[in-house]
Amino acid sequence: MTTTDDVRTATPEVELERLRAENAALLAQMQHRDGELEVATRMLQARAQTMTSVIDAVTEQSIIGTDVDGVIRVWNPGAEKLLGLPRADVVRRRSITDFHLPEELEAAGGGLAALVRAAQEHGSDVRDWTYLAAGGEELTVSVAVTPRTDDTGAHAGWNFVGTDMTEVRATERMKDQFVSLISHELRTPLSSILGYLELVLDDPDQPLTDEQRQYLGTVERNAQRLLRLVGDLLFTAQVDAGRFSLQPEDVDLAAVVRAAEETARVTAATAGVELVVDVPDGGLPVRGDAVRLGQASDNLVANAVKFTPRGGRVTLTLRAAWRTADGTVVPEEQPDAVPVARLAVTDTGIGIPAGEQAQLFARFFRASTARRNAVPGVGLGLAITKAITTAHGGTLELDSAEGRGTTFTLTLPR
């Protein structure tokens, strides 16, 4: 039997043992946590080292990271190469705004806010900015801006990834100036040639022989072809310069499609290509520029005929449809759907390789199938059609397989 005196006597020893056990447990726990912390630290160091090595490996793009105030914290070799300053002279010493043209920043709202406003709203932003290099040189740079976060996910600043576009943009400007200059220089003499040809061909006092009329008719057709090419070149120059405008009115798109078929009818018959037109009897009105919509339709139909071998078929189908909130186009009206008109130009021609379809709407691009089959053209028609469609708030879609034909679908709001 244990007495009160025994309990009192044993208590200090039991208490000491309990404290020793707790101490041992805490020590073991601390050692375990130390081990976890060491592993985590090594992992973070490895991640940081990997990220740094990746950033340092990029030499053709400038990667600049800033804090929330725009003070530079990351400056890779690409930034050193582009802007001509070593990392030690920039990190924690300079702001990203120091390397931007002041007038350009001021025009966009001023300061760091001008650079990051769109990225704040949309999560990212890509546009051209003018960088100022150490030697005072002005560089045109395509800059991608994204927000930067720390390890806890809190906003920590901004990333600016830049690609030097100075030479590219200069070349583009020279090309546009050249196209515009040549077009203007060609249009005047061509108009004069066509005017005098008309006088000669229609002069009742000096009738021509059949052979002379045939020769001059060939001259006139080729001069008209050159004049259309000049018009196309001028149009693309206007689009690139932002001077392309529309003369909107109510237009019956069905009548525009019938006119395009009529324009291409003789060429199609000569090439042995069947033309089929399927449009609503009551017409299909849209709001747009009748001349430009006619130009777009003519381009699509002429292209389809040109790329379809003898014995093939080109089908023009115009339908009323509706575009839902998610962008899907459906044939029946639905709640909250927007009415649209859809023109599909389908051919049974040579098709377009899948790897080239993304480039098809670029100026002067011609698919390899067109080159192999020696199909004439300069690669402007689709670029013009795309520009006209976009200006009308519409879309131009492509569905093609090499050797199995092509469908271009032009969708316009009604």
| pLDDT tens per residue, range 368-378 | 888 888 787 77
pLDDT over 80 (residue 398)? yes
Q: Mean pLDDT, the chain, as a whole number?
A: 87
Q: What is the mean pLDDT of residues 39-44?
A: 66
* 134-148, 231-245, 320-334: least confident range: 231-245
| Res. 196: pLDDT tops 70 | yes
Q: What is the pLDDT of residue 305?
A: 95
Confidence of residue 7 (pLDDT cuts 50, 70, 90): very low
Percent of the chain exceeding pLDDT 70 equals 92
Please list the residues that pair with 400 across neighbouring strands: 406
- Please report which confidence band the pLDDT of residue 323 belongs to, taking 50, 70 and 90 as the band edges: very high
pLDDT tens figures, 338-351: 999 999 999 999 99
Tokens of 134: 């150490």
